[in-house]
């Protein structure tokens, strides 16, 4: 992933406690990440086990990835507290990445999930002090200004402050933990 300074796309809104089994259900962990066609299946089934009530969606809600597709039309996920809780499976952030997610804005993350995201450079995990899943709706057009630490809801004309990325920004800008380590001379090229 190459980190952009401006990320713009459609939001997909979720609630609290979205766990790794909901992000990528266990029955879909059978596909090979090294096989190009099988790898796409992780995108196809990303967020396929999130209950509609947890996603705050109407009955028969909006799917994150439409049937038969392997990429989502939603580039940014807005979530509540404890995003990525549950098991430490690395396939969860990979599935979101394959589905096309560029950023997640959540109130908090399960720490192992957060480190998997950062270390793999799969997308940018922003944190906010505001409960944005009550402010932003699925389908709203969102713009994130990484340098200014702002998320703007272009649909509603509102903006919100993000917490600074801190030390993980250097890892994300490098691409992943190994690229960062090579860049800093911690690993041989």
Q: Where are the domains positioned within the chain? A: 6-183
Class of domain 6-183: alpha beta
Closest among 107, 96, 157, 161 to 134, alpha carbons compared:
107
Q: Write out pLDDT tens, residues 32-63.
A: 999 999 999 999 999 998 876 555 554 456 78
Give the whole-angstrom CA distance, residue 170 versus residue 172: 5
Q: Write out pLDDT tens, residues 91-139.
A: 999 999 999 999 999 999 999 999 999 999 999 999 999 999 999 999 9
What separation in angstroms does the CA of 118 have from each of 52, 82, 175? 28, 16, 9
Residue 52 confidence (pLDDT): 62
CB of 49 within 8 A of CB of 26? no
Any idea what DSSP says for residue 156? T
pTM above 0.85, yes or no: yes
């Amino acid at each position: 992933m190459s980190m952009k300074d401006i990320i713009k796309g459609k939001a997909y809104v979720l609630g609290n406690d979205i766990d790794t089994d909901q992000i990528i259900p266990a029955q879909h962990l059978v596909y090979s990440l090294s096989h190009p066609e099988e790898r796409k299946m992780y995108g196809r089934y990303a967020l396929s086990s999130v209950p509609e009530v947890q996603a705050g969606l109407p009955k028969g809600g909006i799917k994150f990835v439409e049937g038969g597709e392997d990429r989502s039309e939603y580039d940014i996920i807005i979530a509540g507290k404890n995003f990525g809780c549950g098991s430490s499976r690395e396939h969860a952030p990979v599935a979101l990445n394959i589905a096309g997610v560029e950023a997640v804005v959540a109130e908090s993350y399960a720490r192992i999930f957060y480190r998997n995201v950062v270390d793999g450079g799969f997308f940018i995990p922003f944190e906010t002090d505001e409960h944005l899943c009550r402010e932003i709706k699925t389908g709203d057009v969102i713009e994130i200004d990484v340098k200014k630490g702002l998320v703007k809801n272009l649909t509603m004309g509102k903006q919100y402050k993000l917490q600074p990325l801190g030390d993980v920004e250097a890892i994300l800008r490098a691409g992943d933990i190994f690229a960062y380590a090579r860049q800093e001379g911690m690993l041989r090229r």
